[in-house]
Amino acid sequence: MRTLQTDVLVIGAGAAGLCAALAAAPRRVLVVSAADPRLASSTALAQGGIAAPLAAGDSVEAQMADTLAAGCHSSDRRAALRVIRGAAEAVSFLCDLGVHFDRDALGWRLHREGGHSRARVLHARGDRTGAAILSALLAAAASSEHIDLLSGLQVLALREGPAERLCGAWAVDGAGEAVRLEAHETVLATGGVGRLFPSTTNGRAAEGDGLAMALGHGARVAGLEFVQFHPTALAAGADPLPLLTEALRGAGAVLRDGHGERFMVAMHPLAELAPRDVVAREVWSRRARGESVWLDATGVFASEHAEEFPAALALCRAHGIDPLREAIPVSAAAHYHMGGVVVDTLGRSTRSGLWACGEVAFTGMHGANRLASNSLLEAVVCGRTVGHALAREHNPQRHIRVQIEQEVPPPLHTDAQISGQVRSIVGRCLGPVRRGSELEQGGRDLAALRAQLAPGALLERRRLELAQAMVRAALERRESRGAHWREDYPQRDPAHDAA
């Protein structure tokens, strides 16, 4: 069995994990990821961009107002303020690393997305923003002496050390061998939970592992019921479903029903640019009734905006659709998790030695619904906050080994079939429109599945327990708020508003 020792272990090599690792210098950091992050992180897939109040006439207060409105009276104001105040510095940090955000003759070329009251979303390489950010962060990590980066290590469990402190993790490598990762500090940066759903825009890595492990080790979690669905995934039968960025609607694309009518105009004053939950619910409900929904971007692709959407154009063409001439079939798909591991202002979880940042963390900023393009921002700002806090605690005298007496590796069995069944149960009861009876049935189905689980299939057990916790949270929230919509409780209950 291999043992790797490090001072700080970062699990996940997306925007959050890499920002934490870079900022943690001079501490020795090992970043591990289950797969090549260029192929398997949400960061690599992010198209739309990163929101920052950089335009003349825009302000931190204006982005705050939009963030709180999208969050539906549930956001933690102080967390949102901290992140949005950090936006300008985050953008200049990324620029210094070589990210070329798109500009025009007037300065930043800013885009408008759903829920934003003005254009404030920066793109890089058109709609390939996430990939541009990730490649700059990976290059910086590769040239940083304090960082080692290993992909192909799937973390299965955290290590319980002396004095109730977590001290690293257990992983399995590509050959199926156990690897012990010894560390003084462990940072979860494992991204979201989209893969718990049958229809998702999230790639392979977003299985909810970090959140499931934190839950299993008794860290406090919150907001589990709040899952954002993206209204315009390309209905191509692929897995994951390719995303058609919201910026297309910002540039003028419209949603049409099977008769060619624009249905969102009657639903919300902002029509197609209404908050995501509103648009996603409408798209989902129509498709659940057997209707088709189409994104008409012909006007966008015929305009000067066309060059801003190379990824969307390529995606459509790869699926035999010519978006210059025809509307694109779309459906709603699980996209972003507002819930996560509860962290304090520095990113510390409630378990000693365990930190979290990015989508796996719950800062409270997004409340019941994330504002578009606030998540890359949060990943960069909070990742760096965690890294800086770790750097401040640097102690060069500290011994690198963290040994535990009589430590036994966790079982390494897998039970792939169970994951498929969890996905279909979750898809039936935790979609954008929920009902108490379906949630109760989902809870019973998950409990029955748990009884069939192969002994020792640790990761699958954790994922199943996470799904159960999400169903419980959705059942207990007897109201509709943001991304959590209960048909049996359609009103918001002001008693649950954030103070």
Ligand X SMILES: Cc1cc2nc3c(=O)[nH]c(=O)nc-3n(C[C@H](O)[C@H](O)[C@H](O)COP(=O)(O)OP(=O)(O)OC[C@H]3O[C@@H](n4cnc5c(N)ncnc54)[C@H](O)[C@@H]3O)c2cc1C
Residues taking part in catalysis: 276
CA 1, CA 291: separation in Å to the nearest integer? 55
Q: Between residues 172 and 264, which has the closer beta carbon with respect to ligand X?
A: 172
Q: Between residues 202 and 298, which has the closer beta carbon with respect to ligand X?
A: 202
Contact 15, 383 (CB under 8 A): yes
CA 43, CA 344: separation in Å to the nearest integer? 23
Which DSSP string corresponds to 164-188? G-EEEEEEE-TTS-EEEEE-SEEEE
The residue type at 16: A
- Minimum Å distance from CB 412 to ligand X? 13
3-state secondary structure of 149: strand
Site residues (vs ligand X, CB under 6 A): 11-17, 32-35, 37, 40-43, 45-50, 130, 154-155, 189-191, 201-202, 205-206, 209, 243, 336, 358-360, 373-376, 379
Q: Between residues 293 and 377, which has the closer beta carbon with respect to ligand X?
A: 377
Scan for tokens 């982005």, then name that residue.
63
Q: Between residues 467 and 475, which has the closer beta carbon with respect to ligand X?
A: 467
Contact 32, 153 (CB under 8 A): yes
- Minimum Å distance from CB 166 to ligand X? 15
- Minimum Å distance from CB 64 to ligand X? 16
- Minimum Å distance from CB 379 to ligand X? 4
Contact 216, 460 (CB under 8 A): no
Which H or E element spans position 278?
Answer: helix 276-288
- List, in sequence order, every residue forming a beta bridge with 127; answer none if it has no partner: 124
- Minimum Å distance from CB 127 to ligand X? 8
3-state secondary structure 208-239: CHHHHHHHHCCCCEECCCCEEEEEEEECCCCC
Which H or E element spans position 32?
Answer: strand 29-33
Q: Between residues 45 and 439, which has the closer beta carbon with respect to ligand X?
A: 45
